[in-house]
Structure 1
Amino acid sequence: MISLGDASRVVCAVVTGEPLSVADLTALVRQPRFGAVFSFEGTVRDHDHNRVVMGLEYVAHPSASEVIARLTAESATAHPDCVIAVAHRTGRLAIGDAAFVAVVASAHRGAAFAGCFDVVEKVKAELPIWKVQQFADGSTEWVNCA
């Protein structure tokens, strides 16, 4: 994972082919001064629009690492009481695998909830990553393609 420095409120913002762990990102944001740690884990589900999904692959644009860093920094600026760690996976994933993890810590739960919601929405809306889903009938579908 890419650490952006101890002094930064963005402690991790990475696109990686490695498996993701909520526990690993939580360890990066946990501090004695924080009483709230809020996490989001987006996992690969077994269905999409009434079709059985067998697995998927995430493909990232070459700019994805810079974009996730920028988006996370924007959320940190908007939520100055928070420390943020986010990671998005690329490559082939199985049902149940973590595809996207965001963890936000703050002194109080309201700030942590708001910061996590903000960074999740930003990343899901703007990160240049596409997925191709493999369905049980053998067909595939690209999602989030312009």
Structure 2
Amino acid sequence: MARNPMDHPGEQPGVEPIRLLAIRDVPLSLDEVFRAVGDDAAGGTALFVGTVRNHDGGADVDELGYSSHPSAEAELRRVAEKVVADFPVRALAAVHRVGDLSVGDLAVVVAVSCPHRAEAFAACRKLIDDLKHEVPIWKHQRFSDGQEEWVGA
């Protein structure tokens, strides 16, 4: 016997699933992103945090800076909308930092809530992978030996 989805209103689409999208020049908050994806109908929430590491390609990194194209937030929305279309997303959030960052700083935080954990993991991975490949944000690394490198430009 087929279930009537109206018997389980929590399975119906809720409020707008894209809850938070931003590119910011201030420190990011894990708590803000996690709160944004809270949903009573979600059984799984996946959160990814990207931090500035102290090395890249065998060289010591002292600091880096992120810059973005003016279209970056619109591209981030496009990426988020695709994830929502491809997965049973209850809630989604993504924030990326721009400006100068130090080792250990949060560079990007994304989170997705879905009915089940496997869907949440897959959607979160798709979100961060597509963000890194498609949103015009560039990294300028400064190494301990005085060398510099642009990544993604």
- Fold in common (TM above 0.5): yes
Cα RMSD, aligned residues only: 1.2
Other-structure match for 1:102 = 110
TM-score by length of 1: 0.91
Post-superposition offset of 1:18:
1.6
What number of residue pairs does the alignment pair up?
140
Residues 3-44 of structure 1: CA deviation (Å, up to 9, x unaligned):
xxx821111111111211222101011122222111000100
Deviation of 1:46 (Å): 0.3
CA deviation after TM superposition for structure 1 residue 81, in Å: 3.6
TM-score (norm 2): 0.87
Identity %, equivalent residues: 36
Structure 1 residues 56 and 16, CA gap change in structure 2 (3 angstroms): same
State the distance in 2 between where 1:20 and 1:73 align.
Answer: 22
1:139 equivalent in alignment to 2:134: no
Q: Is 1:46 paired with 2:46?
A: no
Counterpart-to-counterpart distance in 2, 1:56 and 1:15: 16
Aligned partner of 2:97 in structure 1 is: 89
Residue in 1 aligned with 2:45?
Answer: 37
Structure 1 runs not aligned, ≥5 long? 1-5
1:77-129 deviations in Å (ceiling 9; x for gaps): 11134311001110000101111111111121011111101111110110101
Paired position in structure 2 for 1:9 = 17
Q: Which moved more, 1:30-39 or 1:42-51?
A: 30-39
Report which of the two structures shows the higher radius of gyration computed on alpha carbons.
2
Secondary structure of 1:8 counterpart: coil
The aligned amino acid for 1:126 is E
In structure 1, the partner of 2:81 is 73
Following TM superposition, the consecutive aligned residue runs of length 4 or more in structure 1 with deviations greater than 6 angstroms are: none
Q: What is the rounded CA distance, in whole Å, between the counterparts of 1:124 and 1:21 in structure 2?
A: 19
Tell me how far apart the structure 1 counterparts of residues 49 and 32 of structure 2 sit (CA, whole Å): 12
Task: Say whether 1:60 aligns with 2:53.
Answer: no
Look up the match of 2:121: 113
Segment drifting more, 43-52 vs 28-37: 28-37
Contact conserved, 2:27 with 2:97, CA < 8 A, in 1? yes
Distance in 2, Cα, partners of 1:113 & 1:67: 22
